[in-house]
Chain A
Amino acid sequence: MTSSLVGGIEDFLAEAQEIVDHLSSTLLAVDQGTKSGGVDPDLINTFFRHAHSLKGLAGMFGQTEVGGIAHHFENVLDALRLGRVRLDRDNLDLFYETIETFHAQLAAVAGGPAHGRDMDALTARLDAAERSKAPWQKSGLPRVPVEPAIAEVLSEYEEHRLRENLARGATLYDVRVAYEVTAIESGLSGMRERLKPVGEVIATLPNPIPGDDVRLEFRFIVGSVVPEANVAAALFGSGAVVSVLPLVTITPTASAATGAGAATEAGAGKGAAAANVGADPGVAAGAASAPPSAGDNVPISLRSVSQTVRVDIARLDSLMNIVGELVLAKAGILRVTERLKGEPELGHLAVELHREYRILDRRVAELREGLLEVRMVPLSTIFDKLTRVARSISRSAGKSVEVVVSGADTELDKLIVEELSDPLLHMLRNSIDHGIEAPETRAARGKPPAGRVELRAYQKGNHVVIEVADDGGGIDPDGIRKVALERGAVTQTRLAEMSARDLLNLIFLPGLSTKSEVSELSGRGVGLDVVKNNIAKLSGVIDIDSEPGRGTTFTITLPITLAILPALIVRSAGQVFAIPLSSVLESIAVDPSRLHRLAGREVVTLRGVTLPILRLAETFGFGPTRPITSAANTWYVVVVGIAELRLGILVEDLAGQQDVIIKSLGKMLSGARGIAGATELGNQEPVLVLDVAALVEEALRREVAA
């Protein structure tokens, strides 16, 4: 190739870097998908396409080393998207490593040091992954059972998706809509968005409209399990016309006849028969009753090696709901028992019933614990991913950073772990991008050249604590003061009386942590306030500690599970509330005379410590706290705390302790601050569960604003 025809190496690097970044983010999304129980096939296809583009690009620019790895990578991903290679942990790890290799290669091409990685070993592993694919016959892959005009323009991948959809019993819909030429792009993306909840868009076929120069017709071939009327309803007003795409019977070609013939006999009805034709080897194995002929590459046993079962977390949730109802029924039995005890002639029955009740109680508790255990996953699932990403972040930042992990075996509810990866990634980015200094600065400060970021996790009572600590430059208090004043977040007077800790906490306010110059690494515009909100949604609290010149530590405190929790039941203004026991420190009877006001805030002094007071009834607008009527009556202060923060919640009565299952309030009330959800007690009355983290935060925010 004449080099004059090829653009400069900068052209290659710019585009290759972009593709490799896409590969990285797609892989993260794919990994995420495997953990939450399903990967969008579209995502896998995107992944494949990026590898494909990289290979083409590298080839054109004579970058044989990048091209070579990309070539093998693409082959594995091609087999993956066609359902012939499994998406398991080993392969995911291999993909991460491959992408890291691309980063290293590009850095070397850009004039950096040679990467010194073993290309032959990686190539061999990629080949091995590809060779693990299910056997199939290259020739004689039958046509897909749709009209020829569609079948002949479908790509191999689209054919595969079409078969997969038929195999899972989906109906194929033909959605037709016309767009003006100038509005195609917005029309297509709008329609794809509307079709997403309906099913999978397998192909998009453009068609000219005879005699119409201004418009083009598009046919979306959609696989969906939703009835036709619902598809039509979902597209109402879009101008689209929906019909069921008829399946056509394919006469098996000679080479495919053996396998497909058996399937056609076995399958009943036109849809089923057609669907089986040309299904993947894995799918067809179940349907084909003929014994495999000698020489076929058929596995000896169909029994799975794995002893694990993947379960949709929604199923665990519904089981947990049933346990919740058992707990309610149990409470009902206990009430009946108590009533029986009061009947003189039924007293012995009450004793017997109570014994049975205790057995039931124990078993329900075991069942609940067992179910909770199933939901627990070790933090290593995200820590591993984070360390890998950290490596590539530090590389792009031109910094050398060592990531040290401890406590990765600490377990947390799967749902919490899922929601944690984004905030943790953001904090990690923050640490590497803004925390760790450039190598020269570190040298000048007498620090080792490589920065250090620690990810630590440990259990503390009913909570899990996660720390992200760096040995970087720390946060400059003057910088915070300046920005906070500039943005009008606090007044000069308030600023003057703030403690060092309060000052640091200001960086969690919206707009405060956004650097003036846009950093490519920490994202654009997403500040620590978003991280804080994400953590708060998990009933967690984030805290920061920083020493200029020495480093910064973020501490996240989270409940172990959100599914079930022991709670303190309280009453105020006739309403019943549940306060998660994990955040209750103590409850104290107080004489109203001990409440007083300090700087406009109601407070109570307990053992020499002044505590802000929150009146529950007033906070949620249920009217005033009921006055004390008799001298014997007292109010109660429930002292709650999250991290170092304390708050006294004033209630009229304590009604005891009970396990509750939090149910979401639905969309209407999901934004209500201070309410985590609702639950029922034994008497079937709905009870609001307090979100202590939000209440504490709200109370302290008022304090800051005051």
Chain B
Amino acid sequence: MRKRVLVVDDSAAMRTLVTTTIETLGDFAVDEAKGGVEALSLLNHAAYDIILLDINMPDLHGLELLGFIRSNPRNKATPIILISTESTERDREKGLALGASAYVAKPFSPEELAAHVSRLAGS
């Protein structure tokens, strides 16, 4: 069965990059959200198998979105990969404390991202 993935990032170029990386891995259906608000409505209606979340977004902060996902029954247990640059170290720690499964620092190699996604997708 196709795994559903949600990519949340405010950068169009980053979204394309992440989506391309995931799609080359195999049978994934990827949804993209260009910010926290758009992600909220997607998350309220669909259950995802993996969520990739950028921390720094202008409309809603990634940590707050993470808090939302963790308190919403629909995606409570979905593995989450946080994507951000290494400078926001405290944010990364808090994200992992909130139950993010993995953290990928920008710039990342597609192989690194692919490894995380494959592992979490159980394939």
**Within the complex, which residue of A49, A61, A155, A213 is in contact with B13, where a contact is CB–CB below 8 Å?**
A61
The 23 sampled A-B contact pairs (Cβ below 8 Å) are A5-B110, A6-B17, A7-B17, A11-B16, A15-B11, A56-B14, A56-B85, A141-B90, A149-B67, A152-B97, A153-B61, A154-B94, A155-B62, A155-B90, A155-B94, A156-B94, A181-B44, A181-B45, A184-B40, A184-B41, A185-B37, A206-B60, A208-B44
B41 near A7 with CB under 8 A, answer no
CA distance A158 to B67 in the complex (A): 15
B40 near A60 with CB under 8 A, answer no
Which chain A residue has the least Cβ–Cβ distance from B66?
Answer: A153
A46-B58, A49-B56 as given contacts; A11 in contact with B13, CB under 8 Å: yes
Please give the distance in Å from B99's CB to the nearest CB on chain A. Answer: 10
Q: List the 10 closest A-B pairs by CB distance, nearest first.
A: A59-B107, A153-B67, A56-B106, A208-B72, A156-B90, A206-B68, A181-B41, A15-B13, A153-B63, A5-B110
B17 near A206 with CB under 8 A, answer no
A11-B16, A15-B12, A184-B40 as given contacts; A52 in contact with B107, CB under 8 Å: no
**Is A635 on the interface with B (CB-CB < 8 A)?**
no
Interface of B: prevailing SS: helix
**Is A53 on the interface with B (CB-CB < 8 A)?**
yes
CA distance A52 to B62 in the complex (A): 14
**Is B27 on the interface with A (CB-CB < 8 A)?**
no
A152 near B17 with CB under 8 A, answer no
Identify the B interface with A (CB < 8 A).
Answer: 10-14, 16-17, 20-21, 24, 36-38, 40-41, 44-45, 55-56, 58-68, 71-73, 84-85, 87-88, 90-91, 94, 97-98, 106-110
A154 near B37 with CB under 8 A, answer no
**Within the complex, which residue of B16, B58, B60, B107 is in contact with A49, where a contact is CB–CB below 8 Å?**
B58
**Is A57 on the interface with B (CB-CB < 8 A)?**
yes
CA distance A203 to B94 in the complex (A): 15
CA distance A172 to B59 in the complex (A): 21
On chain A, the residues within 8 Å of B110 by CB distance are 1-2, 5
Please give the distance in Å from B81's CB to the nearest CB on chain A. Answer: 15
A60 near B107 with CB under 8 A, answer yes
**Docked complex: A536-587 residues within 8 A CB-CB of B:** none
B71 near A75 with CB under 8 A, answer no
CA distance A57 to B85 in the complex (A): 10
**Is A67 on the interface with B (CB-CB < 8 A)?**
yes
A60-B13, A60-B106, A155-B55 as given contacts; A206 in contact with B41, CB under 8 Å: no
**Docked complex: A470-491 residues within 8 A CB-CB of B:** none
**Docked complex: A33-69 residues within 8 A CB-CB of B:** 46, 49, 52-53, 55-62, 67
On chain A, the residues within 8 Å of B58 by CB distance are 46, 49
On chain A, the residues within 8 Å of B36 by CB distance are 206
CA distance A680 to B5 in the complex (A): 71
CA distance A2 to B114 in the complex (A): 13
A153-B94, A181-B44 as given contacts; A52 in contact with B13, CB under 8 Å: no
